Chains A and B, each alone.
Chain A
Amino acid sequence: MELTRRGFIKISGATAAGLAVSGLGVDLKPVKSHAQMLKTKYAKETTTICPYCAVGCGAIVHTSKRGDGRVMNIEGDPDHVINRGSLCAKGAGLKQLVENENRLTVPMYRAPYSDKWQTVSWDWALEKIAKRVKATRDQTFSAQNAAGQQVNRCEGIASVGSAALDNEECWLYQTLLRALGLVYIEHQARI
């Protein structure tokens, strides 16, 4: 990936003469200047596309190369031809979508009639789900419909989602659902 970065301003270093002395004869010359370092200077830069609306604005993600390797900053990608560096309120706050203490970070399970979540491992969760899927599919599969036509479908499972997935994930997900024989497949586009 290549990134070209166009600064917005050519730093001339000049201070305007008009600043130096006021009409009142009071010396208003700037008294101090602190050289500021950009907090993103040593971060890893990757480009992304905003995950909210479908304008498809580009953004730059600054990820810390040290420490926890988490996101330090996300801002508009000036080299993206649609948004040219700009973003809306949601896009501007994208960092909080990622670096958010409210995120789910472990698989959880809620047993029948239970009033709480329990933390489980991925292996445990996916094995259990695979078993549920197979048992349900085997029980509810119809080779034929009521009229005796061949249908080869699983009527006991439905799926909704997801416009939140990448294209490749969407395509992959629908291959799995269709191989399982699901026909109740719907997502955000319908509502």
Chain B
Amino acid sequence: MDTTIFIDTTLCTACRGCQVACKQWHDLPAEKTVNRGTYQNPADLSFNTYKLVRMSEQMVDGKLHWLFFPDQCRHCLEPPCRDTADDARAIFTDDATGAVIYTANTRNLDAAEVIESCPYDVPRRSADGTLAKCDLCYDRVQNGLAPACVKVCGTGAMNFGARKDMLSLAEKRLKTVQAKFPNAALLDPGDVRVIYLVAHDPGLYHKNAVAAVRSPVHMTRKMALRQMLRPFNRKAVRFPV
């Protein structure tokens, strides 16, 4: 089934239900953290943290906004990481859900190359070189349940369903939100299975909110071809695409 997550950040309260539900379902260990002068913790995604609510305080037109961005793998329709790996035993797209799945065999890949191929800086490696990231809870999805992060969300920020339904929900919400925030946009909706709606410049939420070429050094020919089609450091793409 062709699935998609639609994340409406304008409804998110950063309760971090999604962040903990992800750890719970996947039995992921907690990281040792310290308060770094912010509510956000852990500091970043990691081998044991697939979902992270990023928080950022920004002044927009003289008004304070506390922006919340529940970050995770976008499950690209054409995943550069999968292409870079070029090894279906390590990274594959699950055709029952569309989820991009990393297996233990990622240990045998060039981790740095895979990580740098990601336009959203999502994959993380463990000490032994294995890579990990969100798996879209494809075990749940295959069994008729929403991903843990979506099911747990009480605000309506996290939504999951058939891609066409999510695209039309995203479009509808975009129109509504634009009435209040004219700069609202959907992020890379044509390229990914995890589509964000933001009210302001996506860069204010997170540096990797929208796709960007992060390192040309390790680009494969295939990736280079694809990325030639993308403007560098581009801003949000308005719907429709």
Contacts and interface: CB of A to CB of B under 8 A. Distances in A.
Chains A and B in contact, CB within 8 Å: yes
Interface of A: 7-16, 18-19, 22, 24, 26, 28, 30-39, 41, 73-76, 78, 83, 85-93, 95-96
Contact of B24 (A9, A14, A37, A95): A95
A116 B151 CA distance: 45
Contacts of B54: none
Contacts of B154: 83, 86-88
- Give the interface SS of chain B, mostly helix, strand, loop or mixed: mixed
Contact of A16 (B2, B92, B155): B2
B63 interface: no
12 contacts: A8-B145, A8-B150, A11-B1, A11-B144, A30-B98, A36-B139, A37-B139, A41-B143, A86-B152, A89-B19, A90-B20, A91-B17
Nearest to B139: A36
Contacts of B213: none
Contact of B141 (A9, A16, A39, A90): A9
A85 B151 contact: yes
Nearest to B228: A24
Contacts of A95: 24
Nearest to B92: A32
B94 A8 contact: no
B144 A87 contact: no
A96 B19 CA distance: 14
A31 B77 contact: no
Contacts of B142: 11, 35-36
8 tightest CB-CB pairs across the interface, nearest first? A7-B144, A86-B154, A36-B139, A16-B2, A30-B95, A31-B88, A92-B21, A92-B20
A9 B78 contact: no
Contact of A9 (B3, B20, B101, B139): B3
B2 A89 contact: no
B177 to A, nearest CB: 21
Contacts of A35: 96, 142
Interface residues of B, number: 47
Nearest to B23: A93
Interface in B14-33: 15-21, 23-25
Interface in B148-200: 148, 150-155, 160-163
B139 A93 contact: no
Contacts of A34: 94, 101
Name the prevailing secondary structure of the A interface residues: loop
Given A33-B94, A37-B139, A86 B1 contact: no
Nearest to A91: B17
Q: Could you say which of B19, B154, B162 has the most chain A C-beta atoms within 10 Å of its C-beta?
A: B154
Nearest to A36: B139
A13 B1 CA distance: 5
Contacts of A22: 78, 226
Given A19-B98, A31-B93, A34-B94, 14 more contacts: A12-B1, A13-B96, A14-B1, A22-B226, A30-B95, A34-B101, A36-B142, A76-B152, A83-B154, A85-B151, A91-B17, A92-B152, A93-B20, A96-B24
Contact of A8 (B24, B88, B96, B160): B160
B92 A9 contact: no
A133 to B, nearest CB: 41
B146 interface: yes
Nearest to A82: B154
Nearest to B98: A19
Contacts of B141: 9
Contacts of A96: 24
Nearest to A31: B88
B207 to A, nearest CB: 25
B140 interface: yes
A8 B161 CA distance: 8
A32 B16 CA distance: 32
A18 B77 contact: yes
Nearest to A16: B2
B225 interface: yes
B25 A86 contact: no
